[in-house]
Structure 1
Amino acid sequence: MTVAPERLAKALAAVPPLDGSGADLPSTPETVSWGWMPGAGDGPVLEVAPGSVVSVDTVSHEGILGDQGRDPVRFFGGFGVPGEAVLDDAAAIASSPLSHDPSADGPHVVTGPIAVTGARPGDVVSITVLDLVPRVPYGIVSTRHGLGALPGEVIGDDPVFSAFCLVEDGVGSIALRADDPERRARFPLSPFLGFMGVAEAERVHSVAPARHGGNIDVRLLGVGATLHLPVQVPEALVGVGDPHFAQGDGEVALTAFEAPLRASLRLDLVPADEAAARFGALSGPLGETPDLWIPIGLDPDLDEAMRDAVRGSLDLLTRCYGMDRRQAYAYLSVATDYAVSQVVDGTKGVHGSIRKADFR
Structure 2
Amino acid sequence: MSDIETLQPGSGRIPARHYLPTEPGTYLWGRLPSEADVAVLKVSPGEEVTIDTVSHEGILEDQGRDPLGFFGSHGVDPANVLSDAIAIARSGVRDTANDGPHVVTGPIVVDGAQPGDLLTMTVVETTPRVGYGVISNRHGRGALSGEFPLGAGNISVFADVATAVDGTLVGRLPLTEGAERSIRFPLAPFLGIMGVATKGERLHSVPPGAHGGNIDINLLQAGASLHLPVRVPGALAYLGDPHFAQGDGEVALTAMEASLRATVRFELTTAAEATERFGELAGPVAETQDFLVPTGMDTDLDEAVRACVRHAIAILGARWGMAEHLAYAYLSAATDFNISQVVDLVTGVHARIRKSDFSGVSR
TM-score of the pair, normalised by structure 1: 0.94
What aligned pairs does 1:306-321 form with structure 2 within 5 A after superposition?
306-321=305-320
CA positional deviation for 1:102: 2.9
Q: Establish whether residue 106 from structure 1 lines up as the match of residue 100 from structure 2.
A: yes
1:1-360 residue pairs with structure 2 within 5 A? 8=1, 11=2, 13=3, 15-21=4-10, 22=14, 24-98=19-93, 100-169=94-163, 170-180=169-179, 182-201=180-199, 202-360=201-359
1:4 matched residue in structure 2: none
Q: Aligned-pair distance for 1:29?
A: 2.5
| Residues 191, 243 of structure 1: 8 Å contact kept | yes
Matched position secondary structure for 1:204 = coil
In the alignment, structure 2 segments of 5+ residues that lack a partner are: 164-168
User: What CA deviation, in whole Å up to 9, does each residue of 1:170-200 have, x standing for no partner?
Assistant: 11111111233x2211111111000000000
Contact 2:22–2:105 (Cα < 8 Å) also in 1? yes
| Partner SS for 1:290 | coil
Measured after TM superposition, the shift of residue 317 of structure 1 is 0.6
Moved more, 204-213 or 157-166: 157-166
- Contact preservation (8 Å) 2:283, 2:294: no
Contact 1:130 1:265 in 2 (8 A): yes
Calculate the TM-score normalised by the size of structure 2: 0.94
| Post-superposition CA distance 1:13-58 (Å, at most 9, x none) | 2x11113223710011221100011101010011111111000000
Give the whole-Å Cα distance in 2 for the aligned partners of 1:125 and 1:348.
Answer: 23
Query: Retained in 1: the 8 A contact 2:282–2:311?
Result: no
One-letter code of the match for 2:65? R
Percent identity between matched residues is 55
Cα deviation, 1:60-92, whole Å, max 9, x if unaligned, reads: 000001111111010101111111100011111
Query: Could you tell me whether the CA contact under 8 Å between 2:205 and 2:214 is conserved in 1?
Result: yes
Q: What stretches of structure 1 move > 4 A for 4+ residues in a row?
A: none
Q: Which runs of 5+ in 1 are unaligned?
A: 1-7
The alignment covers a number of residue pairs equal to: 347
| Partner Cα separation in structure 2 for residue 230 and residue 119 of structure 1 | 10
SS at match of 2:157: strand
Deviation at residue 96 of structure 1 after TM alignment: 1.7
What do residues 202-259 of structure 1 show as CA deviations (whole Å, max 9, x unaligned)?
Answer: 2111000001000000001111100000111110000100000000000000000000
Secondary structure at the residue paired with 2:249?
coil
